[in-house]
Structures are given as C-alpha cells and as structure tokens.
Amino acid sequence: MISHSEGTRNFCGRNARARGLHSSGSTCRGFSLPELLVSMAVLLVVAGGVVSIISFNEQTFGRIEQQSDMYENVRAVAELMAQEIGQAGFVDLPAGATLSAAVTKSATAQTVAVSSTTSMYAGEILLVDPGPNEEPVTIVSLTSTSINGIFANNHPTAGAVIYAIGVSPNGIVAPSTSATTPGGVSCVTVPTGVTYTATDGSTCNVLNVWGDLNSDGTLVYVRYTCNTTTTPGTLTRSVTTITPGANTVSTAQTLLSTLTPNPPSSAPTPCFQYDLSTQQITVNGVTSTYYMIANIGLTLSVQTLKPDPLTGQYLTMTKSFLDLSPRNILAGYEQANWGDASRLQNQPPNVTLY
C-alpha cells in the first residue's frame, strides 16, 4: 500500500518524469499566505453569519417565552377569579351538622345545642329536620356548640339534620357609587333611575368576595388587591375563613408581581369594573328590592420580568375579561322571582367589618 506522502512524492520531480508525467509547481507546493488569509476571511464571515443567526433565534425565542409567561400568568389569575366570582354568595354547611337534642317548639327564641356551628353565622337561615318537621330557622346568635332562634315545629329526636343551602345577593361586596380611580374614572355602572347609596365595600382596585367558594361547606372571605402605585405593581389575594367574632383579614399572598398601570395613562382603566343590577321580589304581598353585582370586568396590564433580548425594553401586555358573572347569585334571584325568597341569605356580620 502506498502512503499519502509517498503518493504525493511520486507525482513530483524525478518520479513524475520517470513515469512519463509532467508535474507543475502548484502541484508540489502548499497554500500561499494570501490564499490562507483569504480562506480565513471567508471562514470568519460565514462563521459570523451563522453565529448571528443563532443569536437572533435565541433572542426571538427568549421574547416569545417571556410573552408566553406573561399570558399564562394573567390567564391563571383570571381563571381563579372567574371560579371564585362564580361561586360568590353560595352558602352551605359541612356535612354532618345535627341537633344534639330534641327541641320543643316555641314562639320565642330559644338556645338549642348542635353538633357543630362551622360556617354558621348570625342572620343565616338554616333548614332544620328535612321531612314532616322541616322548617327554616334564622340564627339570632350562636356559640361554638349552640344556636339561638325561633323553632316553630317540634323536633322530637336528637340527630335531626341541619342544612343551610342558599345564596346571598351580596356575595360580591358592592362598591361605593363614588368609587373612582385616581384619574377620575368610575368603576361602577348603575342603571338609570336607580338609587344606590353604598358607602363601603369593594373599590376600583379592591375586589371583596365571600361564600362557599370551594364547595366544601366552608365560608371564606377573599380579597383581591390591585396595586400599581409601585413599579412594578402587585396583585395580591387573601383568604379568610369566616368565623363569628373574628374580624381580621388574613395575610395576603402575591399572585402577580409585574403589574403596570392600565392604559390610557391619562385616566387608567380600573382593575375592577362593576355592573350593578336591581331586582324587586314580592313574597306574600311584601316587595323587597335587592341590589346585586351582575357582572365584573377585570383589566390587568403586566410587564416581563426581564428586558426584551431584542430591544432591551420591558415588554407589556394588557388583557381584559369583561364577563365574570356570579352564577350562583343569578340562580338565587331566578328562584326568588318564582316567589321563593327563602334561599336568599343574609351576609355574615364580619363582612362589613373586614
């Protein structure tokens, strides 16, 4: 076998002439310095182009990833709020609440021992002893082991089941009619001709919701706070279990830490917008007017955690969700319009104190 070096020599000089071949000078010498320099220049240009394309693709991917993160974070918050707003005002008890002893009917309020008062509160309407002795009983007061109210029927045996099924029209704590943003934009839409005088509650940047929001028999009070006074701003959420006599809101947890003021900059759109509705319901000849928040709009603007790799600027995005409806409250009103207002619950006393 002839090696590469030997083969090369065979085609150069005397060996080539001995074989009857004619070799040129270029065949027998290496690359010249200019040729090497030109080759290196071309290689550098090609390599630079490849690196530039790779870098651009990486920056583009980084931008898309940041935009996707912004969208996913806002969407997750909107889904959580939609679920809790939909459940707003729903009232229920954990399974297993019963009367601890027999009860004799009385025209005056009496104190009755019960197995549990979890999720019970003064003013709540209970459904006691389903069956022939069934009756609604409104709680006047309560302790951890008893309730006080008027029992119009006899309940001859211990263990009678207690329910509390219904909805409160005030599951979304209505804002003041004067609630506006610092730019003077109102966040409450009131029907023409409706007199509405609420002075406390939710605001353009604070949404207060309560009820059995997780359908587990536990009443909770949830507060969302949209704060854009800092840069970047935050959206926080606190969850407080409603317990008689406990009037302190739990510590809030941060849901979003990249908020920016909503556009337009001259008069920013409120984070929360409310549509107020009224219902007049007549039961047994008595007409009552109920106020409710029929719809909530949510508008959030966020920015990326890091500057855009392509521009060096923070990317921003504004998303609006304008149809967050309290479905349980609407269902309660429909039932009341059919003449049965027994399922319209009062709100816990704590709610006005939080």
- Token pair listed for 55: 């870098």
Per-residue pLDDT of the chain (354 residues; tens, 9 = 90+): 444 445 444 545 555 555 554 555 555 566 787 877 878 888 888 877 777 777 777 767 767 777 788 888 999 999 999 999 999 999 999 988 999 999 999 999 999 999 999 999 999 999 999 889 999 999 999 999 999 999 999 999 999 999 987 888 888 988 876 666 666 677 888 777 777 666 668 888 999 999 999 989 999 999 999 999 888 999 999 999 999 888 899 999 999 999 999 998 888 889 999 988 877 777 667 777 777 888 899 999 999 888 887 788 888 889 999 889 888 877 777 777 676 677 788 889 988 888
User: Which region holds residue 150: left if phi is over 0, alpha if psi is between -120 and 50, else beta?
Assistant: beta
* N residues, the chain: 354
Instruction: Please check whether residue 221 is in contact with residue 354, taking contact to mean a CB–CB distance below 8 angstroms.
Output: yes
Which helix (H) or strand (E) element contains residue 215?
none
Distance of CA 165 to the CA centre of its chain: 25
Cis peptide leading into residue 232 (ω within 30°): yes
- Token pair listed for 307: 């500057």
3-state SS assignment for residue 339: coil
Instruction: Please check whether residue 119 is in contact with residue 217, taking contact to mean a CB–CB distance below 8 angstroms.
Output: yes
Instruction: Please check whether residue 162 is in contact with residue 135, taking contact to mean a CB–CB distance below 8 angstroms.
Output: no
Strands 141-142 and 206-211: unpaired
